[in-house]
Amino acid sequence: MSNIPFEDLGTANLVVDSVYEGARNKKLNLGSEPLTKLIPGIGNMGGFRKSVDPKTKTLRGLVLVSKRNEIDWPDTLNIFTGLYAYFGDNRAPGKSLHDTPKGGNKVLLDIFELAHGIKEHRAKCPLILAFENTGNGFDTEFKGLLVPGAANLSASQDLVAVWATKNGKRFQNYKANFTVLDCGEISGDWVRDIFG
């Protein structure tokens, strides 16, 4: 594991378990956030950061960012099986499963439908990257390159709507299961080219 300084992010590769540092300035603002410098074209906030082709409106790439250690929504990486469980963005009552501000749950539904489709549909799955906040400013740790589903899970088990309760009101959110591919280092130039 290594730390990649903010100044080097524009040319850095993505290395599993490496920390991509936010800017080291006195004011923590969104300009200090490292992922938009590492992968230009994605948003600077939230757990779902998308890159959409402006012509075709198709999803080119998706960055999933976990806050790490959320008690109600414990995104987890099993380092022995390579299974990464990520929770969707419907985290409070009052909205339907797919009616979220950033549309993250709808993105999950679409990605898993592509993954379970015919060969031509699977080829349309976007590049998916997982990061976790470290708790130190904007520093973010790269967890890996993901594909939807897992060898030991059926299509009805890899994306599951789970029930939760908050303030006595019930609602649903997704638990999405991904496989982390065995890629220790990924070319940053390749990633930036895909994300456009």
Q: What's the pLDDT at 26?
A: 64
Q: If DSSP states are collapsed to H, E and C, what string results for 60-96?
A: EEEEEEECCCCCCCCCEEECCCCEEEEECCCCCCCCC
Closest CA to 183 of 6, 8, 15, 10: 15
Closest CA to 190 of 145, 151, 152: 145
Q: What's the pLDDT at 141?
A: 97
One digit per residue, pLDDT tens: the chain, 196 residues? 699 999 999 999 999 999 999 998 766 677 789 999 999 989 888 899 999 999 999 999 999 999 977 888 999 999 999 999 999 999 999 999 999 988 999 999 999 999 999 999 999 999 999 999 999 989 999 999 999 999 989 989 999 999 999 999 999 999 999 999 999 999 999 999 999 8
- Cα separation, 40 vs 44, in Å, equals 10
Q: Is 13 exposed, middle or buried (0-12, 13-18, 19+ CB in 10 A)?
A: middle
Q: What's the pLDDT at 28?
A: 66
Q: What's the pLDDT at 44?
A: 80
Angle at the Cα of 117 from the Cα atoms of 188 and 16, rounded to 5 degrees: 25
Q: What's the pLDDT at 30?
A: 74
Q: What's the pLDDT at 70?
A: 82
